């Protein structure tokens, strides 16, 4: 499975918000990750629609998490943004392939998807980010590293 850029940015935005005590702006998220402010703004609209983030307008406004980080499941965020996570169409749709009636690959792929989704659903946002300066620590540590 490869996640779409929109999903990647959604996860990054949630991590950013979970790692700080205050509201943030779309510009702050974009600047921190060195990504397009327009893309982040679109992602935030989706995060608001899915109920992960609230957007407050006006002075002192910004974006903030609606739920606590331990209430947000990484797997659910991925499902919300990606739709289905099927490796092949045949896993979800019957009679799409001529060999499907006797094919064992469909079952193997379905089991792999289940294992993957079960794992991702077990991971909470709080499992991947600690409140406080963790993101700054990560960027500081990696800026000296060679890629």
Find the mean pLDDT for residues 43-56. 96
Q: Residue 142 above 60 pLDDT?
A: no
Two tokens, residue 39? 């893309």
Find the mean pLDDT for residues 49-74. 93
What architecture does CATH give domain 5-136? Orthogonal Bundle (1.10)
Name the band, by pLDDT with cuts 50, 70 and 90, for residue 141.
low
Distance CA 11, CA 132 (A): 17
Sign (positive or negative) of CA dihedral 43, 45, 51, 56: positive
Give, in degrees to the nearest 5, the angle at Cα 7 between 120 and 113.
35
Q: Dmax over Cα atoms in the chain, in whole Å?
A: 63
What is the radius of gyration, based on Cα positions, of the chain?
18
Residue 47: the pLDDT is 98
Find the mean pLDDT for residues 108-115. 89
Average pLDDT, whole number, for the chain?
86
pLDDT tens for 82-108 read 987 777 777 777 888 888 788 888 888
- Residue 36 DSSP code: -
Name the band, by pLDDT with cuts 50, 70 and 90, for residue 147.
very low
Residue whose structure tokens are 């910004």: 62
């Amino acid at each position: 499975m490869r996640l779409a850029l929109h999903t990647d940015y959604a996860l990054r935005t949630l991590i950013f918000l979970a790692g700080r005590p205050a509201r943030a702006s779309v510009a702050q998220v974009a600047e921190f990750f060195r990504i397009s402010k327009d893309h982040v703004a679109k992602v935030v609209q989706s995060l608001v629609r899915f109920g992960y983030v609230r957007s407050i307008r006006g002075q002192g406004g910004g974006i903030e998490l609606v739920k606590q980080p331990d209430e947000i499941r990484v797997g659910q965020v991925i499902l919300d943004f990606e739709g289905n996570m099927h490796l092949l169409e045949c896993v979800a749709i019957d009679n799409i392939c001529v060999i499907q009636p006797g094919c064992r690959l469909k079952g193997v792929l379905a089991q792999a998807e289940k294992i993957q989704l079960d794992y991702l659903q077990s991971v909470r946002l709080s499992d991947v980010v600690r409140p406080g300066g963790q993101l700054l620590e990560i960027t500081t540590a990696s800026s000296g590293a060679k890629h």
